[in-house]
Chains A and B, each alone.
Chain A
Amino acid sequence: MTLTVETAIKWLHFVNEEIQANKEYLTDLDQAIGDGDHGLNMARGFQEVSLKLNTANYNDLASLFKDVGMTLLSKVGGASGPLYGTAFMRLSMALKDKSKATQSEFSEGLQAALNGLKMRGKAQLGDKTMIDVWEPVVEFLKNHEQVTGKQLADLAKEKMEATKDIEAKKGRAAYLGKRSIGHLDPGAVSSYLLFSSLSRTFSEGEI
């Protein structure tokens, strides 16, 4: 797999499509255990990302992902703005000056993004957050040289669905304690959409 500026743009447009299509769903999930703004916030943020990508020109991945991070920071309210914003800013820093990235470079970039998410959200694996999708997906990409899009999407889906059985330790859902069990974590679902879109981008073959 090689991530180029073109494939990255394609990926982010797919993310926007998925987020728009699941806007109500994300809002419903967040109304159950959060403050009910996740769908709207993510839809507003990625709509702006999509518009930005249509109008700007990029020579390298770092400037592209930096723009994505800054756009999400300014347009997404709630916790997902600084979280996804931090993730894309860290990805940008890891891919400094690169016009394309190998799977190993991209995986390291996603690892840097994950580290940023954990630092910003002060969350660990098992807290019923987006980390529960990000960490296993990043590990998988780092540890396997050849990954198919389907493997990636299946893993992200499995880990997203597993957040249903976890008790929330972070965010508004933590106030609910055990009552958060039985509900999917909205951030894990939007993270799943991010990675299933990546899988769609590379669906033609191995990543």
Chain B
Amino acid sequence: MDFVSLVLISHSEEIVVGLKKLINQVQPNVAIAIAGGVDGEIGTNVFHIKEAIESVHSEKGTVVFFDLGSALLNAEMAIEMVEGNENIRIADAPLLEGAYFAAVEAGFGHSLREVVASGEAAKSFQKVPDL
């Protein structure tokens, strides 16, 4: 079965290293690439992101998750630089919950659109139940 791939971007390398580990524990079949930090410092780098996308991207599609503001600018630029970028999407979602939900959805072999929707649903996911 083909799976949609995920790319995780953070200003901190440790954040995405840890998040990838967390997600792989529940869903080892989905390809996940990470781009975190710049030369060990806090930041994001467009070329690192481009390489990460290219390392996992397939015809089935890739969904990109990011943490804060300027990571979005670099993610958009990186996607523009990738050839065959029609089926790459940026999810408007919290990084951790969004990527986690998306990985589960992708693991069922679902489509790019469904994986994005599942990641973005994390925005309104209630973590603490009403009493």
Contacts and interface: CB of A to CB of B under 8 A. Distances in A.
A79 B73 contact: yes
Contact of B73 (A41, A74, A120): A120
Contact of A73 (B41, B42, B46): B46
B74 interface: yes
SS class of chain A's interface: helix, strand, loop or mixed? helix
B38 interface: yes
B42 A120 contact: no
A79 B46 contact: no
Given A79-B70, A120-B77, A85 B44 contact: no
B76 interface: yes
B43 interface: yes
B77 A78 contact: no
B69 interface: yes
Nearest to B42: A77
B44 A77 contact: yes
A152 interface: no
Contact of B46 (A41, A85, A121): A85
A183 to B, nearest CB: 18
Interface residues of A, number: 16
A37 B69 CA distance: 14
Contacts of B74: 81-82
A78 B43 contact: yes
A77 B73 contact: no
B38 A171 contact: no
A74 B77 contact: no
Contacts of B44: 77
Contact of A77 (B41, B47, B69, B77): B41
A77 B76 contact: no
Given A79-B70, A82-B70, A74 B45 contact: yes
Contacts of A74: 45-47
Given A73-B46, A74-B47, A77-B45, A86 B69 contact: no
Interface in A62-81: 73-74, 77-79, 81
B129 to A, nearest CB: 29
Contact of B69 (A41, A85, A172): A172
Given A41-B43, A77-B70, A81-B45, 13 more contacts: A73-B45, A73-B77, A74-B45, A74-B47, A77-B42, A77-B44, A79-B70, A81-B46, A81-B74, A85-B46, A120-B73, A121-B73, A171-B69
The 5 closest A-B pairs by CB, nearest first: A77-B43, A79-B70, A82-B73, A77-B38, A82-B77
8 contacts: A74-B47, A77-B42, A81-B43, A82-B46, A82-B70, A85-B46, A86-B77, A120-B77
